[in-house]
A and B are shown apart, each in its own frame.
Chain A
Amino acid sequence: MTDPLLSVDDLAVRFETGTEPVRAVDGLSLSVEAGETVGLIGESGCGKSAAVRAIAGLHGDTARVDGAVTFDGIDLRSLSDERLRRIRATRLSTIFQDPAATLTPTRSVRFHLEEALRLADRPDDGSLRAALGLSRRDWGEPSRTRRERALALLEQVGLDDPDYLDRYPHELSGGEAQRVSIATALASDPDLLLADEPTTALDATTREAILDLLDDLVAERDLATVLVSHDLGLVGERCDRVVVAYAGEVMEAGPADRVLESPRHPYTRALLACRLEGTTPGDRLPTVDGTLPDPTAETTGCPFAARCVHATESCRTTAPPTVDREDGGRVRCGELESIAAVSVDGGRVADDIGSRPSPPGSPNVDTLGSNAPASAASTDPVDDPILELRDVSKRYPIDDSWLARLRGRDRYTNAVDDVSLAVDRGETLGIVGESGAGKSTVIDLVTGLESATTGEVVVDGETLGTVDDRSRDQLAAIGRLFQHPQSSLDPRQRVRTAIDEPLLEAGWERDRRRERISALLSLVGLDDRHADRRPHQLSGGQCQRIALARAIALEPALVVLDEPTAALDVSVRAQVCNLLLDLQAGLDCAFVLVSHDLGVVRHLADRIAVMRDGQVVESGAAERLCTDPATAYTETLLSAATGIGETEPTADHQRPSQL
């Protein structure tokens, strides 16, 4: 075997924070051959970005980096800043996660590209004037040719219009911005590309396009790539080899198809199991219990031991051995023998890992299957709806300042445009649609946080106004779960107080409230210990559970859920899905579920409504809609979603602030 292009050995990154150091990367090793794409996967926070930055030598003073990084025989770690910089300028490029944020807002696209080109051409030219871009003449190349080269770069990433050169980052869409930053990364014609979640912030369609583009480029230029992601599907599709990291350590590595098809390490198996693809709607999902270990704590033994169903005493106390797989992969686990070499079915391990016992007080898991047939039967107009939207529209002013009105230039946007929907009792209606389609607005109308411009919102037969007009009972009839788990809880309030609030407002006695809080906590799988914590002391999943407990505190007949799993990890997402299923069965309430994540919607919903530009373009039984979409729009939505489970929603679109 020849020397790999990049080899990383026993890499460790520590962040010096106020108190104890955070060990973000802890002994990570990997290697990349020329022309090879290596995927680096793992849950959020397991040190992927930290490792990439350490490889590129981008960590500042707050981080301490140890270990060896060898690039084409050069020991990057011992290079002077200046030499390292030159390597970055010419041979090693990095693409970061958030496309818009990686372009300097005050500089044009052209500046970025030409800067990258100049640095690649003349890496030694560090003159201040050149750095400032002041003296184009000194660049040794007429600006005309450089412009042409910049254009060519843009063309390569699929931006043909020369107009793009003079744009500023904020004038680009997320996909365009990411293309531009890829173009800058390619300017130096690098040997190695470090791509740190290059597509997470993009919507499904754009993501596919960008990844295809990368694939082409890699093939064309024989680029070696490290592709960081926590998206298993994506990695399986695009990578030659995969490295699975956990808590800053490599758990398993090997050829992509082998690792994903016959994972050996319990962590890899657990991760793969959480995927939604291939599950039957309404089934309980396997989950990985527990959380990432505290990166500030010293660990002995296997870091995954605490969450591993196979863990033995020795796992917890001694560092696990690294076992070479016959196919060239490696696994870091001491209990491989005891883990049954189970059959693998389409990448899904029918295994005993990670199933969480049902929360106390929640109904038996077995009864849950009943959801699916009910939905299949239900046709569009429902007979006894708990919720009905009748020709509802919502108009938001874009510019209705008195000045604009004076000039007759007041403008409005139709966030929701003549929407009619009905939700049956005990049923789950999923609403999907791309960002800005009006999904959240529908929810706001239902809960009364916004008032409909026209149309009626009918709940349980009564036409409702806004929150301020609703009676106590009407308010109690609807529970709402907000999008971001952390932000839906007052950061200053303890969990107990948060759950207490609706009960208090409903006029409950003190003792009764206390009992109810305990009951609710156990219903969502937490206990009284959590009641005295504040939101920042809880994990995202726990916060979401608290929020859920609060939403169902008064046993509403209807619960509306706005992106209940958006900001969550795969395994947490599975937990929340399970919880929702359990609750619905136990409480017999109807759900309106809004999500970008078609996987989740398909898994939970009986019926689905597809929204676009404020209108419902299609609605129907979940199964039918997924298998046989009636509109092209739904089809694109679906095709973008297939195979890729873990899409984070695009960055929250900005709502124009009210003056």
Chain B
Amino acid sequence: MSYLLRRLASSTVVLFGVTVLTFGLVHLTPGDPARTVLAERQGRQPSEADVREFRAEQGLNDPVPIQYGNWLGDVLRGDLGRSYYGDGDVLELLLAYLPNTIELAGASILIAVAIAIPAGVVSAVYRGTWIDYVSQGTSLIGVSMPNFWLGYLLIIGGALRLGVFPVYGAGTLAHLVLPAITLGTGMAAVLTRLVRSSLLETLEEPYVDAARARGLAERGVVTAHALRTALLPVVTMIGLQLGYVLGGAVVVEVVFQRPGLGTLLVDAVFARDFPVIQGVTLLVGATFVLVNLLTDLAYHRLDPRVSLGGGRA
């Protein structure tokens, strides 16, 4: 209980920091956002009057802390502002794009877990055999593979050559296949290595030998004793992998022209659409903090040592 509270408190602090950073980022911009935005919006150099009006309208004249306060107040009320272009409500925009990214992230994590756990276990159990070398080699290549290239390889193979899968967009399951493979396999590579090393480590533990000494068959030793403990760090890692997924989604979504938070962010960055940039970064940051909180709590439920001992991790 006290752990939960402590964890909640520190998450809140981090979340607060996330808002400060999100807000502060925008003030890094070298140019004058008002001018840039108006120029883009109007297709020509904005007049001074327009610039002044825009600044007043967007509250850009206030001192920065006040701007932050106002912004934070709005955010807490669920108002993320409006896009500089087209006056779209940022929250609505995010909610419109979010499902596609969630879909992609979910599918990728599923693929990753489905590949990584068996591969990592087999690799660890058959340590030093060719199975292990193949699995390790593959995952090493997977880790080293930029997913934007993998994406194009899949497009060339799966879409251009075979013509099986649609290459762009979102909506149906078929659209999900190539992007999810792209993102999922990269993540699987990382996870496989983790599962392997974690299992190898537990296989060295005395209790594994003790189980063998009790006369338990090898697969029982691995599944009932070693794997259970070995997968605990993997749980945390999957939580942390969400960061990888969200980061990878940016690129993969661009490669596959998938409307999602990634493409939204990239477009917004290029358009200097600050409210949208802030919205996406805030959403991503908050999600990440939240998911990490949840995986931590899950970890604490799964590992009796931690959940009952109440020790600090």
Are A58 and B212 interface neighbours, CB within 8 A? Answer: yes
Contacts A106-B304, A168-B308 given; indicate if A115 touches B228 (C-beta within 8 A).
Answer: no
Tell yes or no: A85 within 8 A of B by CB: yes
Closest to B207 in A: A104
With A and B bound together, what is the CA distance between A86 and B217 in angstroms? 9
Tell yes or no: B173 within 8 A of A by CB: no
Tell yes or no: A656 within 8 A of B by CB: yes
Interfacial residues of chain A within 171-216, with CB under 8 A of chain B in the complex: 171, 181, 184-185, 187-188
Complex partner residue of A131 from B224, B304, B312, CB under 8 angstroms: B224
Tell yes or no: A262 within 8 A of B by CB: no
Tell yes or no: A268 within 8 A of B by CB: no
Tell yes or no: B309 within 8 A of A by CB: yes
Q: Given the complex, which residues of B lie within 8 Å of A97, measured CB to CB?
A: 206
Shortest B126–chain A CB gap in Å is: 11
Interfacial residues of chain B within 275-301, with CB under 8 A of chain A in the complex: none
Q: Given the complex, which residues of A lie within 8 Å of B223, measured CB to CB?
A: 128, 131-132
Are A105 and B214 interface neighbours, CB within 8 A? Answer: no
Q: Given the complex, which residues of B lie within 8 Å of A657, measured CB to CB?
A: 312
Complex partner residue of B211 from A86, A104, A106, CB under 8 angstroms: A104
Tell yes or no: A326 within 8 A of B by CB: no
Tell yes or no: A587 within 8 A of B by CB: no
With A and B bound together, what is the CA distance between A93 and B212 in angstroms? 10
Q: Given the complex, which residues of A lie within 8 Å of B18, measured CB to CB?
A: none
With A and B bound together, what is the CA distance between A460 and B309 in angstroms? 45
Are B209 and A96 interface neighbours, CB within 8 A? Answer: yes
Tell yes or no: B175 within 8 A of A by CB: no
Are B211 and A168 interface neighbours, CB within 8 A? Answer: no
Complex partner residue of B213 from A90, A93, A130, CB under 8 angstroms: A93
Q: Given the complex, which residues of A lie within 8 Å of B219, measured CB to CB?
A: 126, 128, 131
Interface residue tally on B, bucketed by range: 35 or more
Tell yes or no: A325 within 8 A of B by CB: no
With A and B bound together, what is the CA distance between A404 and B1 in angstroms? 12
Tell yes or no: B35 within 8 A of A by CB: no
Tell which of B2-10, B115-123, B145-153 binds the partner.
B2-10
Q: Given the complex, which residues of B lie within 8 Å of A403, measured CB to CB?
A: 5-6, 9
Are A656 and B312 interface neighbours, CB within 8 A? Answer: yes
Are B207 and A119 interface neighbours, CB within 8 A? Answer: no
How many interface residues does A have (CB within 8 Å)?
Answer: 52
Q: Given the complex, which residues of A lie within 8 Å of B215, measured CB to CB?
A: 85-90, 119-120, 123, 188
Interfacial residues of chain A within 593-627, with CB under 8 A of chain B in the complex: none
Query: Taking each of B9, B208, B215, B225, which has the highest tally of chain A beta carbons within 10 Å of its own beta carbon?
Result: B215
Q: Given the complex, which residues of A lie within 8 Å of B309, measured CB to CB?
A: 170-171
Q: Given the complex, which residues of B lie within 8 Å of A61, measured CB to CB?
A: 128
Are B213 and A88 interface neighbours, CB within 8 A? Answer: yes
With A and B bound together, what is the CA distance between A286 and B151 in angstroms? 74
With A and B bound together, what is the CA distance between A185 and B232 in angstroms? 27
Are A170 and B210 interface neighbours, CB within 8 A? Answer: no
Closest to A62 in B: B128
Closest to B217 in A: A126
Interfacial residues of chain B within 196-253, with CB under 8 A of chain A in the complex: 205-220, 223-225, 228-229, 232
Shortest B272–chain A CB gap in Å is: 39
Q: Which 5 A-B pairs have the closest CB atoms?
A: A89-B215, A131-B220, A88-B215, A102-B210, A94-B213
The chain B residues found within 8 Å of chain A, CB to CB, are: 2, 5-6, 9, 128, 205-220, 223-225, 228-229, 232, 302-305, 308-309, 311-312
Known: A88-B213, A188-B215, A401-B6. 15 other contacts (CB 8 A): A94-B210, A94-B213, A96-B206, A104-B208, A104-B229, A105-B305, A107-B228, A120-B215, A128-B220, A131-B224, A168-B305, A181-B210, A403-B5, A403-B9, A409-B2
